[in-house]
Amino acid sequence: MNVLYVSHTAVVSGAERSLLDLLGGLPATVHPLLATPPGPLQALAQERGVATTAITGTAGSLRVHPLHTPRALAEMALAAWQVRRAAARHGADVVHANSIRAGIVLGFARLRATPTIVHVRDCLPAGRVSTATLRLIASTATTVVANSAYTAASVRAAAPDARVEVVHNAVDLQRFDPGAIERAGARARLGDAAEGRLLLGVVAQLSPWKGQDTAIEALSLLCREGIDAHLVLVGSAKFVASSTRFDNEDYVARLHGLVATAGLEDRVSWLGERDDVPQIIRALDVLLLPSWEEPFGRAVIEAMALGVPVVATDVGGPREIVQDGRQGFLVAPRQPGAWARAIAEVAESEDGGAAMGRAGRERATRLFTIARHVHATLDIYERAIAQTGGRPV
C-alpha cells in the first residue's frame, strides 16, 4: 500500500510527534511518502528512513483577516497542486492529512479517485469560519480521524454527516520506559531544582490555552502552605506568526511577570525545547496538564507510561485517558486552588503517588501502544479504499 502523508507545517509539536510515531510503526507492506515544508519534521522523518517531498506550508489562522486570509488561501492552493502531483508520482492508494489545515489542502486538491483521510487533532473555537472549515473537510474527506471522542464530537457538532472514527494517540513504550531510566539519575540531571523538593512539570508549547499560568499560580499556593515545590516548564512559544490565533510571545512575557510578582524565580525552571523529555518526566513527582481544554493530552500518556502520576484538565481528551483517582486526578481548568489541592493530595498520599504511577503504566501499556494505533489506522485505510472502489490492498 502506498500512502502519502501531508503536513501543513515543518514545526514539530504534539501532532507531528504523533505522526512520526505512526510512520515509525508502519509495517513493511506500507510505503509512506511525507509531503511537508522543509524543516525539522522533514529531517526527523528522513532520519527514520521515510521518503519526503517538499510542499508549501502555511501558518494561516482560521480567522478571517483582510491580509492573512488571502495569503493563506494562496499557500493552500499551491500546496494542493503540489500534493496532487506527489500523489500521482507516488501512486498513492491513500492520502492522509495530519491536521485540519492539511485537510483543507486535500479539499482544494480534489483527489476524487483516491481515498483521503483527514486527522483532526484540535477543537476549533466556535464560529462561522470554524464550522465552514469542518464542513469542507467532512464533505471532501473519505474519513475523518479524531484523536479523541471529545474531538470527534466537535467535528460532528459542525458537520453532523461527517464520517468520523476515533483513534487515540500512542506512546513509544520503549522510549518512555521507567525501567530504562533511573529516577535518581534523572533528578540529578535537573540539579538543585529537584533536590529534596516536590517536582512538578508541564510539558507543552507555551500558549495561553495550555494553562501554564494556572500551574504557576498553583505552585504559589503550595509554597504558601509550606510545601517545598518546584515547577519545570518544558516547551516554547512555537507558533509566533502574526496570523496565529494567540499572541504566544506576549503570553510568555506575562508568565515571566507572574513568576516575578509571586517571587518564584528560584522555584520555576524554563527548560525550553528538549530532546530528553522522557528523562525529565521520569524525574517528576507529578505531571500537570492545566489546559483550558485538551483535544487529547499526549504528555499525559507519556507520564503514565513512565509511572508518573498526573493532574490533568477535566475538559477534553484526558477524561478518556485518566481514570480520576486511579492514575491521577482530573481538575477543572483555571482554578489554581483546586489544582494545588489535587497536587497536595498526590504528594501527601501514603506512597507519594507510587500506586497511581503503577496504574498509569499498566493503562498505557494496555491502551496506548503504537502497535494498537497503527493497526486501527490501517483498518481505516482498508475501509476507505473499499468504500471508494480503490485498488485492493
Averaged pLDDT for residues 319-344? 98
Position 73 scores a pLDDT of 82
Position 247 scores a pLDDT of 83
**Is residue 130 a contact partner of residue 305, using CB atoms and an 8 Å limit?**
no
CB-based contacts of 387, cutoff 8 Å, min separation 6:
115, 142
Position 30 scores a pLDDT of 98
How sure is the predictor about 265, in pLDDT bands with cuts at 50, 70 and 90?
Answer: very high
Is the pLDDT at 66 greater than 80? The verdict is no
> Which amino acid appears at position 39 of this protein?
G
Is the pLDDT at 194 greater than 90? The verdict is no
Is the pLDDT at 232 greater than 90? The verdict is yes
Residue in this structure with the C-alpha cell 503540489, named with its chain if needed = 82
CB-based contacts of 12, cutoff 8 Å, min separation 6:
20, 40, 41, 44
Dihedral of CA atoms 218, 223, 225, 226 in degrees, nearest 10, equals 150
Position 388 scores a pLDDT of 81
Phi, psi dihedral angles at 3 (to 5 degrees): -125, 130
What distance in Å separates the CA atoms of residue 144 and residue 134, rounded to the nearest whole number? 10
Averaged pLDDT for residues 151-179? 96
Averaged pLDDT for residues 262-287? 97
What distance in Å separates the CA atoms of residue 12 and residue 7, rounded to the nearest whole number? 10
Position 124 scores a pLDDT of 87
**Is residue 105 a contact partner of residue 97, using CB atoms and an 8 Å limit?**
yes
Which strands make up the sheet holding 229-234, listed edge to edge?
268-272, 229-234, 198-203, 286-289, 310-313, 328-331
**Is residue 205 a contact partner of residue 236, using CB atoms and an 8 Å limit?**
yes
How sure is the predictor about 244, in pLDDT bands with cuts at 50, 70 and 90?
Answer: low
Q: How many helices (H) and strands (E) does the chain have?
A: 15, 13
Q: Which domains does the chain have, with CATH numbers?
A: 2-169+369-388 (3.40.50.2000), 178-367 (3.40.50.2000)
Please tell me whether residue 323 adopts helix, strand or coil conformation: coil
How far is Cα of residue 28 from the mean position of the Cα atoms in its chain?
26
Is the pLDDT at 17 greater than 50? The verdict is yes
258-264 LR contacts (CB < 8 Å, sep 24+): 258/213, 258/216, 258/217, 259/216, 262/216, 262/217, 262/219, 262/220, 264/216, 264/219, 264/220, 264/223, 264/231
Position 300 scores a pLDDT of 98
Predicted confidence (pLDDT) per residue in 101-143, tens digit: 999 999 999 888 899 999 999 998 888 989 999 999 999 999 9
Q: Please state, for a pLDDT cut of 70, what percent of the chain lies above it.
A: 94
**Is residue 199 a contact partner of residue 277, using CB atoms and an 8 Å limit?**
no
Are β-strands 94-97 and 229-234 bridged in parallel, bridged antiparallel, or unpaired? Answer: unpaired
Average pLDDT, the chain: 93
What distance in Å separates the CA atoms of residue 296 and residue 96, rounded to the nearest whole number? 19
How sure is the predictor about 9, in pLDDT bands with cuts at 50, 70 and 90?
Answer: very high
Position 392 scores a pLDDT of 41
Averaged pLDDT for residues 142-150? 98
> Which amino acid appears at position 34 of this protein?
L
What distance in Å separates the CA atoms of residue 36 and residue 139, rounded to the nearest whole number? 24
